[in-house]
Amino acid sequence: MENHAQLKKNIGFFVSTSLVVGTVIGSGIFMKPGVVLSSTGDSTLALLAWLIGGIITLASGLTIAEVSVKIPRTGGLFAYLEEVYGKLWGFLCGWVQTLVYGPALMGALGLYFGVLAANFFGFSESRSTLIGIIAVVFLGIINLLGTQYGGFIQALSTVAKLIPVILIAVFGIAQGEVTIFNMDSGAAGTINMGAAILATLWAYDGWMNVGFIAGEMKNPAKTLPRAIIGGILIVMIAYLSINIAMLHVLPASEIVKLGPNAANEAATILFGGLGGKLIAIGILISIFGCLNGKILTFPRIPFAMAESGLFPGAKSLSQVHPKFKTPVNATVFQLALTVLFMLTGNADRLSNIAIFTVFLFYGLAFYAVFLLRKKDNGNYQGYKVPFYPITPIIAIIGAVYIVGSTLISSPVDSLFSIGIVLIGVPVYMIIKKNNDKLNSVKLEA
């Protein structure tokens, strides 16, 4: 708690909302329209999936906003679960974020970047994985040299990522001539709304990261819920607009066929060859910046756990580089896992694993609002989730639906993630036992 007291409380509403928008808008809106259309088989159902994904995210944000106000600690999801459910659940959350969620998420971003970069420069598709790995390693080195370099890339990419979103949305809706609704995607197979909504939630994911800096906000009780809600609403409008625009420019079947390159093609139709290339560069910068943000932040999870002695190899993972003042071993550890994921899975599969894993813990965080309400006995007078208990119930149902549908559609990947969670239980017990012994020896000395 002493470390939290030393943090400067200088972050306001605008910066907080920008962080939500900046961390959410990355690769998903450019990579997932084809996946959503393929899963739904129809443009209207695809737009419905994006809307449902947004509603689940908004209900989640409204619910977590109350939890975050009652637990205004830096640390986000990890801090909420530890406070409400105890240290074991906090550990399991950090354990899974370190071993599965973070590496799978960064791996997917790296692979998406590789596919688009290979297409942009005219390289063969077989080189896309290598390009993605080079991007991950390059950004890892940059962030190891000092957070100021990673921060510069983040600031530049946040501005750049909004340019293609706004231009494609505005000009696509204004100039497109293709019929938007009830258009067949041309994809064979049965309708799978679960897979479609899961794909949209990859695009919406990242909004909870603003909770990592709650301890540095001027007035977290007011700023945090407003930033989460305002940021999610902005993202929802942007996502629906760009999907409508792309469907207005390209037939649904063409979007499915083009896959990750659909946004590039839409930009080329709208703005010509040169304009399309400039938009493609903007998209690449967007994904590059999103990947940079994850590489900058995710190693801090095992580093923080190691500093508390709550991770295997804590002594090594808690080391800070003497010159660059960065968590060198924790970063290298995360990068190694990321490259391993990239070599063993495709981008869409990794993104599904990441979302499934984090929603296992999101559900617990949503339910926490009921436990906190019971605890304060109606005496709490701050922000309260609107339409209680309907809103948190929607968030919980959404989490259960995503976990359940993924278990059915991708049982192997789902069981892999659950297996990592279960392995964490005995690991925690062993670490706790060793720490208790060490503390006992110190007391006796």
Residue 2 is predicted with a pLDDT of 41
Residue 384 is predicted with a pLDDT of 86
Residue 289 is inside which H or E element, if any?
helix 262-297
Average pLDDT over residues 351-379: 89
Q: 435 is written with which tokens?
A: 């720490």
Domains of the chain as residue ranges with CATH: 13-437 (1.20.1740.10)
Q: What angle do CA 134, 202, 300 make, to 5 degrees?
A: 60
Residue 370 is predicted with a pLDDT of 94
Nearest to 96 by CA among 349, 432, 307, 337: 337
Q: What is the pLDDT of residues 270-280, one digit of tens each?
A: 998 888 888 88
Cα(134)–Cα(136) distance, rounded to whole angstroms?
6
Q: Looking at the predicted structure, is the pLDDT value of residue 322 above 90?
A: no
Non-local CB neighbours of 96 within 8 Å, separated by 6+ positions = 357, 360, 361, 417, 420, 421, 424
Cα(412)–Cα(417) distance, rounded to whole angstroms?
9
Q: What is the pLDDT of residues 87-100, one digit of tens each?
A: 899 999 989 999 99
Average pLDDT over residues 361-382: 87
Residue 209 is predicted with a pLDDT of 66
CB atoms within 10 A of CB 77: 24
Better pLDDT: 44 or 231: 44
Residue 285 is predicted with a pLDDT of 85
How does residue 7 score in pLDDT terms, banded at 50, 70 and 90? very low
Residue 293 is predicted with a pLDDT of 78
Q: Which of 31-45, 226-240, 319-333, 387-401 has the lowest mean pLDDT?
A: 319-333
- CA 286, distance to chain mean position in Å, is 14
Q: What is the pLDDT of residues 396-444, one digit of tens each?
A: 999 998 899 889 888 999 999 999 999 999 999 999 888 888 777 666 6
Q: Are 169 and 246 in contact (CB under 8 A)?
A: no
Q: What is the dihedral of CA 228, 229, 235, 237, to 10 degrees?
A: -170
Mean pLDDT over all residues of the chain? 85
Cα(200)–Cα(113) distance, rounded to whole angstroms?
18
How does residue 1 score in pLDDT terms, banded at 50, 70 and 90? very low
